[in-house]
Chain A
Amino acid sequence: MDPDPHGPPPTSPTSPAPPRPPSPPAPPPRALPPGTVPPRTAPPGALPTRTVPHRGVPSAALAAALVLLALLPVLGAAPASWDGTGARVSGRDEDRPRRTLKVAVSQSVDSLNPFLATRLLSTSVHRLMYENLTNYDPADSRPVPGLATAWKPSSDKLTWTYTIRENARWSDGRPVTARDAAWTFTTMMTDEDAATANGSFVTNFREVTAPSATRLVIRLKKPQATMAALDVPIVPRHIWSKTGDLAEFTNDRTFPVVGSGPFVLTGYKADSYVRLTANPVFWRGAPEFHELVFTYYKDGDAAVAALRKGEVSFVQGLTPAQARALADEPGVTVNDAPGRRFLALATNPGARAQDGRVFGDGHPSLRDPRVRRALFMAVDRDMLVDKVFQGYAVRGEGYIPPRFSRYHWRPAAGQRVPYDPGEAARLLDGAGYRKNAEGLRTGADGKPITYRLLCHATDPNDKAIGRYLQEWYAELGLGLRVDCLDNVTDPWTAGEYDLAFDGWSVNPDPDFVLSIHTCAALPATPGAPGATDNFICDPRYDGLYGRQRAEYDPAARAALVRRMQSRLYDTGYMNVLAYPNAVEAYRSDRIASITTMPEAAGNIYGQDGYWSWWSATPAEPYGAGPGGGPPTGALVGIAAAGTLLAGGAGALALRRRRTVDDRE
């Protein structure tokens, strides 16, 4: 269950990806267009190290406040660094402007320690700072080489051997070796704190060793098909083995932070900015933008204003209204991309624990497959896409969104549950839930049926869809009470609901979202924590799940995953309503090109990989659009005029008062 779609989004990582048995060759380093972005010439480790004091000093702020008060009349003076084009000019970088890519974000960084961080922004930043063993092809999300150039399983399926690339360097110049990877995984297996964020990736590991600098060996307890999708940032052993208590290490005090990814973390201030500088020794080639800065806009409208003004070059999470407004803005491109998320209407199949005990109070009628089918037949998904999402979504069918083409499944014509209210009514009649004299369908107890629908109070889409469902179900003679709550977790975990809005972001490897419907995910006892999404427990589904997890042949595994979705669709516990789009916008007068994922038509923010920001190329001439701030001269002039006016008014007032006093 995803109790809160606005909660911390899933870490971009999750599952595995079917390995390509003969490991694929590394893609050649990207050829940089001649003369565009001169890779940084500084030698590795040349970035000066500085240490940030641990805490702020309140008294300093008070003093600053007083100073600022004195400065208020001349506040018009702009920061000296704006050159009118929005580009930051730095004395360090010869005679051309430093090209900085500013991205508006709203989510706080929970930690810059990759062993602890779970939020989408933090894991995205870690993707840029630290290379994983493997990456995902931007075209179709297949696993491609990262730090590992090749990987293969043993014949008993229990040992995986990875070849670590020889040309990868840490940003301080030292080589990246298999020992760094072995240290990273072993630490997660032995230190509870280090397992905080990504511990689930190593639960099936028996042992990780590095027989040589370029060979990494992972021994498993049982076969696992997800071994090419280990989304674990590999950290430098020579730095991290000296950090002491990992739970206490924030990794944001000394800059630059040594990493192996396309960017190096060079500055951070909580809820203000995250500054990353292009890594000149990145094995795939340095990014073309000198700097990537994630800057904070907690309000969506303010972020859109910043984009229009040119203060930032990228915003994401746009509403339909914002997207439409920006579509006509010169110098701005709106990217309406297929999302990686699905939104479903889930039914409570009867909450139960692994010990067999039944709990909760889900309506008993929902255990009848005919009733579930009738409820789904009464939902017009096209209408929802059109009216609620205003076109910024795709009608839902299978469990895995279409952007993951390898695993996406669609029902055949004969299997599809169509929108057919008439047939839905007949199904309910057939199931014995007939209308009474008042036109209301009654349950076995003779009382009219009113279902309770769990809805997220913070999600306007939930509320809007809830109103449509109320209407459609009322026509069937069914009542629907929409319970919009700030926190739906408690009733959900207790099984005290009938229907619920359910949504998940899906990772390139679908193992995790499939696992939450297995019987093994049910809570051990009623009320105990469990991994189940919706209390579904179906032996046929479980059998398919076990087979796909142990299937090392990608095509065969994909076929099994599609069969699982087919089974899930037929049981009718989950009705996928829509796949909401990822709507974002960028300044095309700053960014000439950028890789989306999927490459054909995909999203930019929150990719499974570092493709977007690594591939972004600056527009030439850079920053032809609006600048980040008005010219300093104009501001100084305005400030001077303001000061003169204020001074003049004050002098007049004083003079007038004096004369008034004298008259008295």
Chain B
Amino acid sequence: MPGAEPAPRRRTGSGYGRYVAGRLTGAAVSLLAVLVTGFFLFRLIPGDPVKFMTGGRQVSVEQLAAYRREFGLDLPWWRQFTDYCGKALTGDLGTSYQFRTPVIDKITEALPNTLLLTGTAFVLYTALGLFLGTRAAWRGGGFGDRFHTGLALTLYSVPSFWLGLLLIVVFSVGAGPVPGLFPTGGMESGDTTGFAHVLDVAHHLVLPVVTLVAVEYGQTLLVARSALLDEKGADYLTTARAKGLRDVQVKRRHAVPNAALPTVTLVFVNLGRVVAGTILVETVFSWPGLGGLFYQALSVPDLPLVQGLFLVFAAAVILMNMVADLICPLLDPRVGR
């Protein structure tokens, strides 16, 4: 009976609201899972932090016991767990074993450095990847396409530390006719202030950013290219051309927005990774960021610092995934239904 069929539901604001609420809940649950996982995961790393901290030093048995008391390592695991969760929920990530300072201080000290390096690189490699990817796909099969795809694949496969060292040898020390233009490492000379300091940091930033961009832009390029290639033969583009639109308008107004979904997701996932830094490039260029800090924390293991960093890294990725989820329905209404 036709009259009994429910009318198709129209997508309303409240539908999107439910979608948003669902995504927010999902993110919160993920964050909680990370909190719990972080506690147990890093306790699987073998090793006694107290032994490591005192390794090579004259320490009495009483002192070892005092360390354990100080860091709560003498408590049963469930007490350590409840203490950790309780404090984390109030924003207290504990005190680093090796640096004896609040974990949050170590993170806020290194976070700006990482954001500066990976953030700058992110903007550049995303822009470059999107631009070249779109261009390559639109002229698919041509020389430009083959050249850019080949180059991107090659650079994507290059180990970043190796490329970094190569750049140092060529552009820092100088090789043949190339003069040594840039510093060999670090983030600053430490003896400048004001605008000279900005220039000094920028000078130090060039090679690590170039390394990161070279290694990372390929991924964006390949995803953007492949998404656009899928759209290229679609009928609506023929329609658009038939309407008399110029090629560039067909590309920008019709093809690119429809191919944006996978690329936008990738861009936001990458944006989440920006917080974690990159251990290899930070090491080669002695950049004082979170990646190097995480490595140091893992090698002890400095449990409060490892857990704190893990939480921050995971929170950034979860947050950015959530933002991508919230944006996707705006780009393609079918997503949120």
User: Which A residues fall within an 8 A CB radius of B?
Assistant: 2-4, 7-11, 14-15, 54-58, 60-62, 64-65, 67-69, 71-72, 75-82, 88, 100, 108, 110-111, 113, 116, 118, 192, 195-196, 199-200, 203, 247, 250, 267, 269-273, 275, 293, 295-299, 301-303, 305-306, 308-309, 311, 486-487, 489-490, 493, 504-505, 512, 515, 524, 528-531, 626, 628-630, 634-635, 638, 657, 660-661, 664
Chain B at the A interface: mostly helix, strand, loop or mixed? Answer: helix
Q: Is the CB of A79 within 8 A of B247?
A: no
Q: Is the CB of B189 within 8 A of A79?
A: yes
Give chain B residues whose Cβ lies under 8 Å from the Cβ of A7: 52, 55-56
Q: Is the CB of A68 within 8 A of B286?
A: no
CB of B163 within 8 A of chain A?
A: no
Q: Would you mind naming 11 contact pairs between A and B with Cβ atoms under 8 Å apart?
A: A65-B115, A68-B202, A69-B120, A79-B196, A80-B199, A81-B192, A108-B99, A270-B288, A493-B51, A529-B61, A661-B246
Give chain A residues whose Cβ lies under 8 Å from the Cβ of B109: 55-56, 270
User: Which B residues fall within an 8 A CB radius of A?
Assistant: 45-48, 50-61, 63-66, 70, 98-101, 105-106, 108-113, 115-116, 119-120, 123-124, 161, 165, 168-169, 172-174, 179-181, 183-192, 196, 198-203, 205-206, 246-248, 282-286, 288, 292-293, 296
Q: How far is the CA of A69 from the CA of B288 in the complex (A)?
A: 20
Q: Is the CB of B100 within 8 A of A71?
A: no
Question: A68, A273, A505, A531: which has the most chain B beta carbons within 10 Å?
Answer: A68
Choice from B60, B111, B192 contacting A203 with Cβ under 8 Å: B60
Q: Is the CB of B292 within 8 A of A298?
A: yes
Closest to B62 in A: A203
Q: How far is the CA of A278 from the CA of B56 in the complex (A)?
A: 31
Q: Is the CB of B47 within 8 A of A296?
A: no
Closest to A68 in B: B202
Give chain A residues whose Cβ lies under 8 Å from the Cβ of B116: 61, 64-65, 68
Q: Is the CB of B52 within 8 A of A4?
A: yes
Q: A64-B198, A297-B184, A657-B248 known; A309 and B172 CB under 8 Å?
A: yes
Q: How far is the CA of A4 from the CA of B202 in the complex (A)?
A: 38
Question: B47, B61, B184: which has the most chain A beta carbons within 10 Å?
Answer: B184
Give chain B residues whose Cβ lies under 8 Å from the Cβ of A293: 190
State how many angstroms separate the Cβ of A322 from the closest Cβ of chain B: 13
Using A61-B112, A68-B116, A660-B248 as known contacts, list a sample of 20 further A-B pairs with CB atoms less than 8 Å apart, ordered by residue number in A: A4-B52, A65-B116, A65-B123, A69-B124, A78-B203, A81-B189, A81-B192, A111-B101, A118-B54, A200-B58, A250-B101, A271-B110, A295-B190, A299-B283, A493-B48, A529-B51, A530-B61, A629-B180, A630-B179, A660-B247
Give chain A residues whose Cβ lies under 8 Å from the Cβ of B248: 657, 660-661, 664
Choice from B65, B70, B189, B203 contacting A77 with Cβ under 8 Å: B203
Q: Is the CB of B191 within 8 A of A302?
A: no
Give chain A residues whose Cβ lies under 8 Å from the Cβ of B247: 660-661, 664
Q: Is the CB of B99 within 8 A of A56?
A: no
Q: How far is the CA of A296 from the CA of B287 in the complex (A)?
A: 9
Give chain B residues whose Cβ lies under 8 Å from the Cβ of A634: 179
Give chain A residues whose Cβ lies under 8 Å from the Cβ of B58: 14-15, 200, 512, 515, 531
Question: B61, B113, B190, B198: which has the most chain A beta carbons within 10 Å?
Answer: B190
Q: A10-B56, A79-B196 known; A298 and B112 CB under 8 Å?
A: no
Q: Is the CB of B191 within 8 A of A81?
A: yes
Closest to A275 in B: B190
Choice from A11, A80, A298 contacting B283 with Cβ under 8 Å: A298
Give chain B residues whose Cβ lies under 8 Å from the Cβ of A296: 185-186, 286, 288
Give chain A residues whose Cβ lies under 8 Å from the Cβ of B66: 192, 195
